[in-house]
Amino acid sequence: MAESPYPFISDAYGKNHFELDRPFSSILKHFNYNHEQTRLTSLGEFAGTDLYEIADYIDKLGRPKLIMWSTDGERVDRVWLDPAEKVVLEKLIGEYGVNRGPYISGDWFHYFSSIYLIGDPGISCILTVTNQTAYAIYKYGDPVVKKFLPSLIGGDETTPRKELRYGATWFTEIQGGSDLGANLVEAVNQGGRWILNGDTKYFSSNAGLANLAIVTARPRGAKEGAKGIALFLVPELNSSGKRNFTVRRLKEKSGTVSVPTGEVEFEGAEAYLLGEAEKGIYYTLENLMVSRLSNAVGALGIARKAYLEAYYYAKKRKAFGKRIIEHPLVQRDLMEMEIYIEGTLALTFRAIDEFQKTFMDTPPYTDRYHYARLLTHISKNLTADMAAHVTKLAMELHGGIGFLSEFPVERWHREALITPIWEGPSNIQALDMLEVIAKKGAHHTLLQDLESGRKQLGLKQETDLYEISLTDIKNEFELLKGLDEENAQFQAKDILERLGHSLAVVTLVQISNSLKSERFLSIAKLYRERFVERKPLRRLDRLKTAQIIEIDNLKEELVVGK
């Protein structure tokens, strides 16, 4: 069999993307997650080899195709995936159990870590919306609906299922976008059976692939606005075995090609009500917690892949008589990329840790749950901005070939640009942050958590850095308190960004303390200088520069100097 040419165009290919990522392993250790008991090492190998190549090939040459009609004239509306993508998905769900942990052992760390390692946002989206469907069924489905759960998560640890179903989350309609209160799809209870009618669910990921979808619809006679929305589970086939909804078309997109995204219409679609109809909007927003955290780790995964391409390219490429990684400006760019990734990675896993503790909460929810919500809005926004910046720098470090679509680094920048939009753009995240502060008081729980964390610090350098960042956070909340509603909204994105950067610093300091890591303390200092104080990065000595930008375990000379 002929060898693949892919190693010639990708410098991140052929490596274990988990084992070389020492900062990631350290952050997991800080949050007491023992990755040795998981499949992350094996997944890291897969993520850096077959999965990496196949995802790039699909983007370039293997786009999904909608098959609307069978040869006998029946409407089928099924998506034809590249056969290699089908194998990848079955392997991720079955062998690696990406979606299984939350429902077998209550473990969300493996799921979110897996999305980070996978990197490709299209494949991650397929897994995420399937997981969101499982999540809604697990928490709010009746016994009849719960029968679908095993096929969505790939069975249990001992008996993986060969029969796999894919899920979907179809909330957005053409006239409303993020405004779910404007939704028009209607639900009618006919003799105990719910029937959905209406169009159009406009951005429907997994359209043509999903066997089950959770769908927002307004029961006839329900109140107007978002609080009149209920949440339903809609199977692909009705009780007569016929198509239960129609896929109008697939979208043409600049990225996320591996996930089919289309438009879906309902005409007499049979559906199951999830939970209580009056609480549907709460279930929907709760479900978005899963996808927003997935978006955050997905953005981080994209940025890490781009960094790996740039890092390994810089170690081999020579210009002006030496490897480009030995040039100070290249060191500066790699350092900024690494600091940005690690700070937002730490913040995101802080949010995941809080979600892990509260994911079984139900309306009206606990203070701790609203704290997890606050962290989720912040980390979703910060990671999206980070991914766009890091992938742009990675392209630039490749020079002219960074702009060529034949090399993978160009794709990572395209993929990064969806992360500020998916699951609510930055304006929505900022407004939701204001809501969870003003109405739920989530900032009080945050401040209590930070005050408690301060007591555990030992070194003066850690305490001083923590204190000044905590003061910055308190000042932001004081600023908010003094603003009227319009001015609070006008400044919300900037406040969210400043809060996030300061929270990243305090989290890095806590990691430094728990792991006794001088390196993480250096990262925290540099992160504050660059993203809180907005100062230029200062030049470090060669050893510290190497420690920050070198992430792998290769036994070779320091990456800068000899």
CATH classification of the domain holding 505: 1.20.140.10
Report if residue 164 sits inside a domain. no
pLDDT of residue 458: 86
Domain identity same for 528 and 477: yes
How many domains does the structure of the chain reveal? Answer: 3
Q: Where are the alpha helices (DSSP H) in 31-82?
A: 40-47, 50-61
pLDDT of residue 557: 36
Strand partners, 243: 237
pLDDT of residue 162: 61
Q: Please, what is the Cα angle at 471 between 468 and 476, to 5 degrees?
A: 130
Q: Which of 277, 303, 325 is the last residue of a domain?
A: 277
Q: Of 59, 133, 45, 136, nearest to 91 (Cα)?
A: 45
Which CATH number characterizes residue 263's domain? 2.40.110.20
Report if residue 446 sits inside a domain. yes
Summarised one tens digit per residue, pLDDT across range 159-184 is 555 689 999 999 999 988 888 888 99
Q: What is the mean pLDDT of residues 382-408?
A: 97
Domain identity same for 517 and 427: yes
pLDDT of 158 above 60: no
Report if residue 162 sits inside a domain. no
pLDDT of residue 3: 84
Report if residue 145 sits inside a domain. yes
Band of pLDDT at residue 84, cut at 50, 70 and 90: very high
Phi/psi for 166 (5° steps) reads -110, 145
Phi/psi for 190 (5° steps) reads -115, 100
Report if residue 231 sits inside a domain. yes
- How large is the angle between the packed helices 328-358 and 485-515, nearest 10 degrees? 100
Domain identity same for 358 and 475: yes
Summarised one tens digit per residue, pLDDT across range 249-301 is 999 999 999 999 999 999 999 999 999 999 999 999 999 999 999 999 999 99
- Tokens at residue 353, please? 């840790």
CA atoms within 13 A on the CB side of 399: 7
pLDDT of residue 163: 80
pLDDT of residue 344: 98
For 326-338, give one letter per residue: b (16+ CB within 10 A) or e: beeebbbbbbbbb
**DSSP label of 12:** S
pLDDT of residue 159: 55
Summarised one tens digit per residue, pLDDT across range 179-189 is 888 899 999 99
pLDDT of residue 447: 98
pLDDT of 556 above 50: no
Report if residue 159 sits inside a domain. no
**Structural Rg of the chain based on CA atoms:** 24
pLDDT of 7 above 60: yes
pTM recorded for the entire structure: 0.95
pLDDT of residue 306: 98
Summarised one tens digit per residue, pLDDT across range 111-146 is 999 999 999 999 999 999 999 999 999 999 999 999
CA atoms within 13 A on the CB side of 504: 31
- DSSP strands (E only) in 159-192: 169-170, 186-190
Report if residue 345 sits inside a domain. yes
How many percent of the chain have pLDDT more than 70?
96
| CA 497 to centroid of chain Cα atoms | 18
- Return all residues near 301 (Cβ < 8 A) that are at least 6 apart: 115, 116, 117, 118, 119, 121, 124
Domain identity same for 263 and 287: no
Q: Which of 223, 251, 277 is the last residue of a domain?
A: 277
pLDDT of residue 558: 33
Q: What is the mean pLDDT of residues 235-250?
A: 96
**DSSP label of 537:** P
Band of pLDDT at residue 506, cut at 50, 70 and 90: very high
**DSSP label of 96:** S
Domain identity same for 442 and 530: yes
Q: Which of 234, 259, 277 is the last residue of a domain?
A: 277
Band of pLDDT at residue 474, cut at 50, 70 and 90: very high
Domain identity same for 220 and 92: no
Domain identity same for 408 and 423: yes
Domain identity same for 454 and 528: yes
**CA distances in angstroms from 161 to 84, 91, 152, 156, listed in the order given:** 19, 11, 9, 8
Pick the range with the lowest mean pLDDT from 151-160, 419-428, 489-498. 151-160
pLDDT of residue 199: 85
Domain identity same for 428 and 536: yes
Q: Write out the residue range of the structural domain in which residue 84 sits.
A: 6-153
Q: What is the mean pLDDT of residues 57-84?
A: 96
pLDDT of residue 35: 64
What own/partner pairs with CB < 8 Å and gap ≥ 24 does 538-543 have?
539/328, 539/332
- Return all residues near 356 (Cβ < 8 A) that are at least 6 apart: 106, 107, 108, 109
pLDDT of 78 above 70: yes
pLDDT of 77 above 60: yes
pLDDT of 88 above 90: yes
Domain identity same for 272 and 297: no
Domain identity same for 212 and 108: no
- How large is the angle between the packed helices 426-438 and 485-515, nearest 10 degrees? 90
- Tokens at residue 188, please? 């009618």
Report if residue 500 sits inside a domain. yes
Domain identity same for 380 and 517: yes
Band of pLDDT at residue 491, cut at 50, 70 and 90: very high
Contact, 306 vs 341, CB < 8 A?
no
Task: Calculate the dihedral angle through the C-alpha atoms of 40, 42, 44, 48, rounding to the nearest 10 degrees.
Answer: -160
Classify 395 as helix, strand or coil: helix
